[in-house]
Structure 1
Amino acid sequence: MNLKMNGRDPSGILNKTRELPDQLLKGWSIGKAMNPDIDIETYRQIVFCGMGGSAIIGDLARLILSDLSLPFLVNRGYDLPSFAGPETLIVASSYSGNTEETLSCFEQAVQKKCAVICITSGGTLQKRAAELDYPVFQLPAGYPPRTASGFGLGVLLSIFESQGSETVNEVSLNESVRFLKGLDSVWSNPENPECLPYQIASKVQGRIPLIYATEDKCQAVGYRWKTQLNENSKSQAFYVSFPEMNHNEIVGWMRHEGIESYYCQLLMIILKLPDDHFRNQMRMDLTQKLVKADGGLVIELKAEGATFLARLLYLLFLGDLMSVYLSYMYKVDPADIQHIDNLKAGLAAVK
């Protein structure tokens, strides 16, 4: 299959997605070049404000920076939590700089006299931050936000490494980048029999994927799989965490006549890390057995990589590429987000 000639990716989403390794390095260098005057020990909590592709980097950072001494909350919405104040560090993340929910939180942070740093490529957020002399980490412009996550994640990791986090450093980041580039040399060619993202896309095609990963180690990646399938592939997908799904959703996999009409369309995808709690690993194994015994379809994907960072990025990169390949199979443009554009236009008409 010649993906370049099928005319389904005029915006080059595949190539932008493949930039993840280089974006991480670029973001890291942006963070180090800024070197803002921040001492997180002077704050009581960190609140990361963002939506969509600009929010997922907060989710990922929260997992990776597990040794941070402060609570790290990812806030998706219009309002800051009531506890936000002068002892709160607000990270306002909006790739476009015009995300209305993030701008709302930014203005509230100003009123509450919070400390604020901004991650953006421009727009109103950059303008307001400059007016108030807040630190701005300027990202390269020209990308759909979901294809620019590597920039923002690199910035965040750089900032908190400078604050004493030992879970990531320049050496481990470079090792992870080399690892991703090795994967890209195989995964960027769907005609290669070892192109795992394309193989998975072939299994997802025509089905409704339900994605599962552990809450404390892989939640961000599982949710990213869901949203990338939504946006790139124009398809429905769902995500729930282990062990929570074992207390409710697992019962929904019990096969019976009432759900037979759609049961065979469901596909369970389990994202597994060796870092997962051993009891959660047991839960994943037992859950698969139960679902398979009822004739359910299951794919288990085990993360590879020498470090926790590399393993998270392995699964992230795998899902991103898979969703683009699935868009080709569905013959849709992965860049098209017409429903989002129409929704924004409707909102703009009512102030």
Structure 2
Amino acid sequence: MGVMEALTLFPEQIKTTWTQAQSANIPQIPCKKVVVTGMGGSSNAAKLIQGLFEEDLKIPFAVHNDYGLPAWVDAETLVIANSYSGNTEETLSGIEIAKKLGANILGIATGGKIGEMVTSGEIHGVIISPGASNPPNFPKTGLGVSLGGLLGALNKAGILSISEEVLLASLKELSDIRDSWDAAEMGKWLHGGLPVLFGGRPLIGALNAGRNAMCEISRNYTQFYDFPEVNHVLIEATQMPELVKNNRYLFMESNFNNQRVTLRYAVTKKVLAEQGLSFQTYTLKGKTKLTQSLELAHYCAWLAFYLSMLDGVDPGPEPWILKLKGELSQPVH
């Protein structure tokens, strides 16, 4: 199966591909805006970074999950093509547009067409290799592979500033937190219900990554909502249809959330209690925003694994993705 081993090696995945990106021939790239084009786990890595550094970045940083590129992309934009396989068709379409616009392009992939462009010198970038850190080689178990490569490439290009010492300390802290967290018990509470994840800035990107892991690894239908926006959307919609009363609301709370968001968590819980609905809280334990971002996404991946075990389902195979991509005549991942 290999999924459990891959999740255990999540910190090693990040460390491995970060090092590869730092060693790659990536120059400092001056630009006035950045867009990362990618899908699935490659997009999750970008969204996690986007949320984590939102308060620090002095230039716009966007994530594009689609064909093509936004209309505002121009020659002063850095376009980062992040694709686990290097063959993602939506991401490749963005590269072609970026070339026509004269934008700087940075590719990150394990190989494929993007890998060929990097090798030939057509675009800057790095070919990442998870080595033994992602045994099943599924993108869904390789968030750390995409994340480490993207983080390292952004750092090398001068878009972000993060030291290896800080990253390694965060990964060590994450491993220590994982040794004592309650993911197995929380998985039992979620089992049989419809998981709904709640969280807020600066961890919305990590929340998105966590939701995707829940869907892909556990195959359990999972939603996520961000505070405070959810209070303007969902609070009147928790009673109908009848099946939503089986929702399990999991609050992912951080000391880095806005104080008013923390208050909204408490008030929302009171409302859910009055409505007779089920909720729990996971309080993020990391000392830094970086650790908490990794912790949130990783905790959800383990929740997904435990749900798979409780359902008696192998979390590895992807028959419906294979069918979908076969119908599209697209390389897998």
Find the aligned partners of 1:264 and 1:112 in 2 and give their Cα distance: 50
C-alpha contact (below 8 Å) 2:34/2:78 kept by paired residues: yes
Equivalent in the alignment of 1:183: 177
* SS across alignment from 2:235: helix
Q: 2:148 corresponds to which letter in structure 1?
A: G
Q: Does 1:229 align with 2:214?
A: yes
Q: CA deviation at 1:151?
A: 2.4
C-alpha contact (below 8 Å) 1:196/1:318 kept by paired residues: no
Find the aligned partners of 1:85 and 1:61 in 2 and give their Cα distance: 22
Identity of aligned residues (%): 25
Q: Does 1:241 align with 2:226?
A: yes
Find the aligned partners of 2:159 and 2:203 in 1 and give their Cα distance: 23
Q: Does 1:290 align with 2:271?
A: yes
Q: 2:21 corresponds to which letter in structure 1?
A: G
Equivalent in the alignment of 1:20: 10
Equivalent in the alignment of 1:330: 311
Find the aligned partners of 2:277 and 2:115 in 1 and give their Cα distance: 49
Q: Does 1:111 align with 2:96?
A: no
* SS across alignment from 2:297: helix
Would the alpha carbon gap of residues 341 and 127 (structure 1) be closer, same or farther in structure 2, given more than 3 Å must change?
same
Equivalent in the alignment of 1:130: 119
Gaps of 5+ in 2: 131-135
**Alignment partner of 2:50 out of 48, 51, 62:** 62
Equivalent in the alignment of 1:339: 320
- Aligned pairs, how many? 323
TM-score normalised per structure 1: 0.87
Q: Does 1:301 align with 2:277?
A: no
Q: CA deviation at 1:64?
A: 2.2
**Alignment partner of 2:146 out of 152, 159, 162:** 152
Q: Does 1:91 align with 2:80?
A: yes
Q: CA deviation at 1:198?
A: 0.7
C-alpha contact (below 8 Å) 1:85/1:112 kept by paired residues: yes
Equivalent in the alignment of 1:5: none
Would the alpha carbon gap of residues 149 and 173 (structure 1) be closer, same or farther in structure 2, given more than 3 Å must change?
same
* SS across alignment from 1:209: strand
Equivalent in the alignment of 1:7: none
Gaps of 5+ in 1: 1-9, 187-193
Find the aligned partners of 1:17 and 1:238 in 2 and give their Cα distance: 21
| Residue-by-residue CA offset, 1:151-177 (whole Å, 9 max, x unaligned) | 2222333334442744x3222211111
Find the aligned partners of 1:325 and 1:146 in 2 and give their Cα distance: 15
C-alpha contact (below 8 Å) 1:28/1:155 kept by paired residues: yes
Q: CA deviation at 1:341?
A: 1.1
Q: 1:61 corresponds to which letter in structure 2?
A: I
Q: 2:322 corresponds to which letter in structure 1?
A: D
Find the aligned partners of 2:142 and 2:103 in 1 and give their Cα distance: 27
C-alpha contact (below 8 Å) 2:43/2:65 kept by paired residues: yes
| Residue-by-residue CA offset, 1:41-79 (whole Å, 9 max, x unaligned) | x31210100000111110011122231211000000001
Equivalent in the alignment of 2:133: none
Equivalent in the alignment of 1:196: 182
C-alpha contact (below 8 Å) 1:263/1:296 kept by paired residues: no
Equivalent in the alignment of 1:34: 24
Q: CA deviation at 1:263?
A: 4.1
Would the alpha carbon gap of residues 284 and 35 (structure 1) be closer, same or farther in structure 2, given more than 3 Å must change?
farther
Find the aligned partners of 1:56 and 1:243 in 2 and give their Cα distance: 21
Would the alpha carbon gap of residues 33 and 128 (structure 1) be closer, same or farther in structure 2, given more than 3 Å must change?
closer
Find the aligned partners of 2:154 and 2:114 in 1 and give their Cα distance: 22
Root mean square deviation, CA, Å: 1.8
Find the aligned partners of 2:96 and 2:145 in 1 and give their Cα distance: 24
